[in-house]
Structure formats: C-alpha cells, structure tokens
Chain A
Amino acid sequence: MTYELPPLPYAKNALAPHLSEETLNFHYEKHHRGYVNKLNQLAAEKPAWAGKSYEELIKTESGVVFNQAAQIWNHTFYWKSLSPNGGGAPTGKIAELINEAFGSFDAFKEKFSAAASGHFGSGWAWLVRDDNNKLQIVSTHDAGNPIKDGHNPVLTCDVWEHAYYIDFRNDRPKYIATWWNLVNWEFANSNLKP
C-alpha cells in the first residue's frame, strides 16, 4: 500500500490574490508532496507500521515517521480550512459556539491571531473542540498535531515560514490577517459533533 497525496480542494490560483498560485504550487507540490514521498520511502522498508492510517501513525509513532504522517494530515486539514469562498463572519453552529467560548467573533479572532503570530518557530494554530463541542485554541510546534492529545480539530493555520514567505516575507501577522479572508466556516461546521 502506498500513501497518496490527497488532491487540493481547488485550483492552485483559486486563493489569489490572498495566497498566490506560486505559494500554493510550492506548498502543495514540494512540501506536502515531499512528506508523502518521504513516508512512502520509509514504508518501502516494510516496517510494522506500514499501511496504517495517518491518524493511527499520529497516535502511535514518533520521530521521522510521526513527522511525515502528521505533516501530511496537517496540510490536508489546512487546505480544507481555506476556501476561495471563505472569509467573513462565521455562520451556522460554529458562530454560536464561538460566542459561547470566546464572547464574540472579534474576541476569538484576536485570540486566535495572537496564538498564530506569537508562536515561536515552526508550527500550527488550531481551533479544536471537545466531545461537548466546547471550543479551544491550541498551538502545536513543528509537526505537532492536536489529535495526539485527544483534541478534535476544527480549523488550522500553518505558521511554518514556507506557508507565507513568498507572499508576505517575514510579516507573519499580515499573513494571518489574510487567513481570515479565506477561512472555511463550512468546513469548521462539518468538524463539529452533530
């Protein structure tokens, strides 16, 4: 069994002008695909873990294997957290839950942006929920994934430099401001407990 790179949910130029086609090209074809290629390379040696799902590998593995599996999963989740039709204020159940947990959308936006821009080094900012749909903001370092800690991810923002350097150079806060123009509330709603 070989691991496959899931298709991008939209064309590479679909998130422009917020995120450029060039960024998506490199981020998806080089970084995301690179993790898949590496995991397949490692799996070719037929270790005991070969064939397990990404979620299983995230929960049970560590080191290089974990890094590849987690990064494949993280990036797939990231692409879905964005949409060419995204942005604006949340609608549906997620909007209520945000108000419950953070007081208001603006308050949530401020907290999430601070978590994303303030993270030292590479990593991810996540909106997660528990089994009662209580929302929380967590950040993970490098390839870290919150399902390892038993959280249920709802949305994510990639803050590795490769995610924003082509379009924003060192200006991570500007990239995060742009993320809000693309955030996929439909996807967020689909990750809630019904």
Chain B
Amino acid sequence: MMITSRRLLNNAAKAPSRSFSTAKKFSLPALPYNYDALSPVISGNIMELHHSKHHNAYVNNLNAALEQYADAESKNDVGKMIALQSAIKFNGGGHVNHSIFWTNLAPTKEGGGFADPKFHVVQAITKKFGSVEAFVTKFNSQTAAVQGSGWGWLGFNRNTHDIEVITLPNQDPLSVTGLVPLLGVDVWEHAYYLDYKNARPDYLKEIWKVVNWKNVEERYLEASKK
C-alpha cells in the first residue's frame, strides 16, 4: 500500500502540469487583391509592409499572448492573466482592425471609390451629412486630428439605428464603443508614411478613391438588419 503511494507521488512529481495548448490560433487573412492593386493611392511597397509585416506581427503576437494567457489560466494565475490583457487588446485590436481595413479597400476597376447613390449606406450618409462630400470632409477632419496613432471609423449604432463618425486611439477596436464597424481608415504613420510622409491630410484626401463602397454597403445592410 505504502509503496504504491510513493510511486504515485513520484509519478505525479514528474508529470507536466499541462503540456498541450488550449489557445486559439489566429491567422493572417489573404488580401483580396495584389499588393500593387491600390497604387498609386497606396503603393505596393506600403501594402506589402502593412500586410506581411505589421498585420502579420499583430497576428503572431496575439497568438503568443493567448498561449501565455491559456497557460496562466490553467495555473489559476489571475495576476498574469490581467498583465496579459493589454497585449491581447493591442494585438487583437490590430488584427481585427486590419482584417476589416483590407475588405474596406478595392481597386478602382472593382468599384473602389464609387459611392453608388443606390446604396442604402450612401443614402443614410446623404441624409445625415448632406452629401457624401460633406461626410468625407468631416471624417477626414476628425481623423487627421488623431494624436499619435489611431483609426477613423464610420460605425453603426444598433440602438439608435444611426451612423456615426468616431476616432479611436492606438489599436482599440470599434467594438469597445458598441458601434458596428462599417469603414475604418488607418492613420498610424506606417499606413501612409512611405507615400505621403507627414502629409496625413493628403493621404486622407486620396484614400477615398479606393474605398470599397460595396463592402461598406454589405456591412451596413448586415448591421441594420432587425
């Protein structure tokens, strides 16, 4: 009886606490177009760096943080879980935001830049802001004023059924506000520096030539479903 117990104790001391990862693994989504498809509005140079380096790093860092989180969770280490939350928010937000962004853009030959007046979202914009031009002016003015790094968003408010223009800092995803993302514009310097240098307002003026209004409409129809 005693020998069995000792063997059990010895075996227990050698066994690993948790050798498999229960963390979910995220992956970098493919771009819906070639790297140079949005040129000259956004160069192939920027698109390749933005997608394969920046977005990829958010995905990898998110996965690493989630693996550490799962490990901390398995050890009931709440302190460690809390310490990892900012890395999850930052990298997770970066992954969510950029995944939306790639779909929000399209080459002009695929409808990029064309705000079809038949689209419900275009009608909602015209109703609220007076015209698409007036909306763009307001969106650009607010987004250019982001201090440091962040994003400009057109979001849908499920409570009021209204659309709103809002900016958020760093990689905070629009979901923290409760709004549904329709269109996001990245104004981190990496999004435009190689093409526009410090001239963020010029980048914001040009990007509307490749905004994928079809995608914005799809998101709007989905969000405004009763």
4 more A-B residue pairs beyond the given contacts A26-B198, A122-B149, A123-B148, with a C-beta to C-beta distance below 8 A: A120-B86, A122-B189, A161-B193, A170-B57
Instruction: List A residues at the B interface (Cβ < 8 Å).
Output: 26, 30-31, 34, 67, 120-123, 141-143, 160-162, 165-166, 169-170
Complex: how many Å from CA A31 to CA B148?
12
Which of B170, B189, B197 contacts A160, CB < 8 Å?
Answer: B189
Band of interface residues on B: 10 to 19
In the complex, number of A-B residue pairs with CB atoms less than 8 Å apart: 51
Which of B53, B90, B188 contacts A161, CB < 8 Å?
Answer: B188
Of chain B, the residue at the smallest CB distance from A33 is: B198
- Chain A residues positioned under 8 Å from B198 (CB to CB): 26, 30-31, 34, 162
- Chain B residues positioned under 8 Å from A67 (CB to CB): 147
Of chain B, the residue at the smallest CB distance from A169 is: B49
Which B residues between 186 and 226 are near A, CB-CB below 8 angstroms? 188-190, 193-194, 197-198
- Chain B residues positioned under 8 Å from A34 (CB to CB): 198
Contact B193 A160 (CB under 8 A): no
19 A-B residue pairings within 8 Å (CB atoms): A30-B198, A120-B86, A120-B170, A121-B148, A121-B149, A121-B170, A121-B171, A122-B189, A123-B148, A142-B148, A143-B147, A161-B149, A161-B189, A165-B190, A166-B194, A169-B53, A170-B49, A170-B54, A170-B57
Of chain B, the residue at the smallest CB distance from A30 is: B198
Q: Assess whether B130 is interfacial by the CB under 8 Å rule.
A: no
Which of A121, A143, A165 contacts B169, CB < 8 Å?
Answer: A121
- Chain A residues positioned under 8 Å from B149 (CB to CB): 121-122, 142, 161
Give 1 or 0 for each of B39-63: 1 = CB within 8 Å of chain A CB.
0000000000100011001000000
With contacts A121-B169, A170-B57 taken as known, whether A160 is within 8 angstroms of B148 at the C-beta atoms is yes
Of chain A, the residue at the smallest CB distance from B198 is: A30
Complex: how many Å from CA A166 to CA B45?
12
- Chain B residues positioned under 8 Å from A161 (CB to CB): 149, 188-190, 193
Which B residues between 133 and 154 are near A, CB-CB below 8 angstroms? 147-149
Which of B53, B86, B148, B194 contacts A143, CB < 8 Å?
Answer: B148
Give 1 or 0 for each of B73-107: 1 = CB within 8 Å of chain A CB.
00000000000001000100000000000000000
- Chain A residues positioned under 8 Å from B147 (CB to CB): 67, 142-143
Of chain A, the residue at the smallest CB distance from B45 is: A169
Instruction: State how many angstroms separate the Cβ of A164 from the closest Cβ of chain B.
Output: 10
Contact B171 A162 (CB under 8 A): no
Instruction: State how many angstroms separate the Cβ of A161 from the closest Cβ of chain B.
Output: 4
Contact A166 B49 (CB under 8 A): no
Complex: how many Å from CA A22 to CA B190?
17
Instruction: State how many angstroms separate the Cβ of A124 from the closest Cβ of chain B.
Output: 11
Instruction: State how many angstroms separate the Cβ of A132 from the closest Cβ of chain B.
Output: 30
- Chain A residues positioned under 8 Å from B170 (CB to CB): 120-121
| Closest 6 pairs (CB-CB, A-B) | A142-B148, A161-B189, A122-B148, A30-B198, A121-B170, A170-B53
